[in-house]
Amino acid sequence: MKIHIASDHAGFELKQKLVPFIKGLGLEVVDHGPVKFDPEDDYPDLMKPAAIAVASDPVNSKGVVIGGSGFGEAMVVNKIAGIRAVNFYGPKITTQAVDITGRLSSDPYEILRLAREHNNANVLAMGSRFVTEEEAKEAIRIFIETPFLNEERHVRRIKKIDQI
Task: Tell whether 116 is in a known binding site.
Answer: no
Task: Tell whether 72 is in a known binding site.
Answer: yes
CB contact at 8 A, 37 and 12: yes
**CA-to-CA separations, 89 to 76, 132, 137, in angstroms, rounded:** 18, 10, 12
Return the amino acid letter for 3: I
Task: Tell whether 71 is in a known binding site.
Answer: yes
CB contact at 8 A, 59 and 31: no
Q: Around 157, how many Cα atoms within 13 Å sit in the side-chain half-sphere?
A: 13
Catalytic residue among 4, 32, 73, 138: 73
Catalytic residue list contains 118: yes
Task: Tell whether 141 is in a known binding site.
Answer: no
Task: Tell whether 129 is in a known binding site.
Answer: yes
* Distance (Å, whole) CA 104 – CA 153: 24
Task: Tell whether 31 is in a known binding site.
Answer: no
Task: Tell whether 8 is in a known binding site.
Answer: yes
Catalytic residue list contains 73: yes
Catalytic residue among 13, 110, 118, 154: 118
Annotated binding-site positions: 8-9, 68-72, 119, 129, 153, 157
* Active-site amino acid positions: 73, 118
Q: Which residues are annotated as a binding site for D-ribulose 5-phosphate?
A: 8-9, 68-72, 119, 129, 153, 157
